[in-house]
A = this chain, B = another copy of it.
C-alpha cells in the first residue's frame, strides 16, 4: 500500500471524530464485482485509479475506497472458503449465503441497465442457476497477478468503454448455457467447492480465488464437480 488512513471527514468540534464511510452504489458494486470476478482480484495502483475513475460516474469515490474494497473482498472470500473447508463440505450448488431470505445483498439490487453498454453480456452469469451472492473464495496466497492485459486500455468486461463482444454457449452438465468469454469465477457462479471438468475428463485449472484461468470453449461440454 501506500499512504494511510485518510479520515475523509473530521468533525469541526474535534471532540468526536464521527467518521462516515463510503456507501457504494449498486452500479459501483456491480462494476467492482465484475472486475473481481474477471480475475483481477488485486489491481495494482495504476488499475485502481482507473477503476476509481470508472466508479466516479456513479458517485464520488476515492482510490482508497477502491483499494479497501478489493482488500476486503479478497479477505472475506478467503475466510469464508476456509470456514467451508474445515466444517461441512461438498455442498454442491449451494447458494453459499448464510442469511435466509431474499438476500439481494450488495449487487443485483436495482433493476435497470446500469452501464452504457449494449445491454446484453455485461456480467451475465445470471443464466446459470444460483444468484451469486458474491461468495467467491480461495485458499492460500497470491503474489503479483498484476500485469494483466498488457499496456492497453480497458481490461475489464463491460464497464469499460470498448469491450469484447459477448458470451459464448457451452454445455454444462448437458445444459446449454451462456457464459461470458474470458475468466469465470467458478465459485461465485456455481457455489463453493466446485470443480469443472471438460468432457475429456480433464480438470480445468483455477487460481486461488476459484477463478478459471482460461475461457471455456464455445460449444464444448463441461461437467460440474
Chain A contact residues, CB within 8 Å of chain B? 1-7, 14, 44-45, 48, 63-64, 67, 71, 147
| Whole-angstrom distance between the Cβ of A10 and the nearest chain B Cβ | 9
Q: Quick check: B44 and A7 within 8 Å, CB to CB?
A: yes
Q: Please measure, in the bound complex, the distance between the C-alpha atom of A71 and the C-alpha atom of B2, giving whole angstroms.
A: 11
Q: Quick check: A67 and B7 within 8 Å, CB to CB?
A: no
The residues of B that contact A3 with a CB separation of less than 8 Å are 1-3, 45, 48, 63-64, 67
| Whole-angstrom distance between the Cβ of A13 and the nearest chain B Cβ | 12
Question: Beyond A1-B64, A2-B6, A3-B3: 6 further Cβ-contacts under 8 Å?
Answer: A2-B4, A2-B5, A2-B64, A2-B67, A4-B48, A5-B44
Q: 7 closest A-B pairs (Cβ-Cβ)?
A: A2-B3, A1-B4, A3-B3, A4-B67, A2-B64, A2-B6, A2-B4
Nearest-CB residue, chain B, relative to A65: B2
The residues of B that contact A67 with a CB separation of less than 8 Å are 2-4
Q: Please measure, in the bound complex, the distance between the C-alpha atom of A3 and the C-alpha atom of B45, giving whole angstroms.
A: 8
Q: Please measure, in the bound complex, the distance between the C-alpha atom of A45 and the C-alpha atom of B64, giving whole angstroms.
A: 13
Q: Please measure, in the bound complex, the distance between the C-alpha atom of A48 and the C-alpha atom of B63, giving whole angstroms.
A: 19
* 29 pairs, A vs B, C-beta closer than 8 Å: A1-B1, A1-B2, A1-B4, A1-B5, A1-B64, A2-B2, A2-B3, A2-B4, A2-B5, A2-B6, A2-B63, A2-B64, A2-B67, A3-B3, A3-B45, A3-B48, A3-B63, A3-B64, A3-B67, A4-B45, A4-B48, A4-B67, A4-B71, A5-B44, A5-B45, A6-B45, A7-B44, A7-B45, A14-B147
Q: Please measure, in the bound complex, the distance between the C-alpha atom of A67 and the C-alpha atom of B14, giving whole angstroms.
A: 23
| Whole-angstrom distance between the Cβ of A146 and the nearest chain B Cβ | 9
The residues of B that contact A45 with a CB separation of less than 8 Å are 3-7
| Whole-angstrom distance between the Cβ of A91 and the nearest chain B Cβ | 35
| Whole-angstrom distance between the Cβ of A44 and the nearest chain B Cβ | 7
Q: Please measure, in the bound complex, the distance between the C-alpha atom of A1 and the C-alpha atom of B64, giving whole angstroms.
A: 8
The residues of B that contact A2 with a CB separation of less than 8 Å are 1-6, 63-64, 67
